[in-house]
Structure 1
């Protein structure tokens, strides 16, 4: 068995690379997908495809269309969503992706530090599992593969 894991969350840090490296030591294979991690490409993809837009609002709208399509396709193909709420960046996209996973009935593992417990309490109750670290999220995934 092989799982496709959608990694939802901010794209400014290397947390995805860290979780992929951690997963390399597991006795099974996981495929990871997620949003475009190249922030400049993500912001500019609309204009790269559709051409220059008249202002930043139209530029953002064009990029959002492409990024939302990518998220929809990859999340629908995923088996599990891991949504990371970090402490440093604003988390609007993470909240949107976690809510999308719930709407799509995708199993959701929410990763959030204890200090965000109150702010995320309703979302956490909708997730299948809430943990504080990516290591714990991978332990949850590992449990799926256990036979006894």
Structure 2
């Protein structure tokens, strides 16, 4: 079984497209909490309120880092998606962390990000533009089967 960590933007359906496309493959998917409010507020919800937005956000970031570090450490493949709508500094960090751990890294973004992400892309074993290409990579890794 392949353990695949899906990191990156949370505003489009790319994760669902990969999970649905990989149905029937021997793959288990993990990833960050994609409920934006829950992710932002987890630290104060669990460890107590903060008056300062800085400490509110820091508690959430540190708690989310526990999940992220575990997911990336356990992954065979890390897929990092950079979307168009927001700057995903966390996605860039996750890609760097995965690369530092020697994980097989697949980067997913549109052509408009090619220049900005050239260093991230250089660390990846594959760079693709569509979630379906990630599914084709997973199928090939598991079975050697090429797209039809």
TM tier, smaller: over 0.9
The one of 47, 53, 57 aligned to 1:56: 53
Give the number of equivalent residue pairs. 145
Hey, what does 2:18 align to over in structure 1?
A: 19
* Matching of residues 78-97 of structure 1 within 5 Å: 78-97=75-94
Any idea what the Cα deviations from partners look like across 1:78-97, whole Å, max 9, x if unmatched?
A: 11001111212221111111
What are the Cα deviations for residues 17-71 of structure 1, in whole angstroms up to 9, with x where unaligned? 22211112xx422111001111111111111111111211010010011011110
The structural deviation recorded for 1:147 is 4.8
Task: Tell me which residue corresponds to 2:35.
Answer: 38
Q: Distance in 1 between matches of 2:10 and 2:114?
A: 22
Q: 1:113 corresponds to which residue?
A: 110
Gaps of at least 5 residues in structure 2 are none
Question: What TM-score do the two structures reach when normalised by structure 1?
Answer: 0.92
Q: Which runs of 5+ in 1 are unaligned?
A: none
1:69 partner SS? helix
Deviates more, 1:60-69 or 1:10-19: 10-19
Partner of 1:9: 8
Contact 1:10/1:91 (CA < 8 Å) preserved in 2? yes
Tell me the equivalent position of 1:129.
126
What CA distance in whole angstroms lies between the structure 1 residues aligned with 2:144 and 2:91? Answer: 32
**CA positional deviation for 1:12:** 2.5
Per the alignment, in what secondary structure is the counterpart of residue 127 of structure 2? strand
User: So what's the TM-score if we normalise by structure 2?
Assistant: 0.92
- 2-structure distance, mates of 1:72, 1:30: 19
Distance 1:5 1:118, change over 3 A: same
Aligned equivalents of 1:138, 1:90: Cα separation in 2: 25
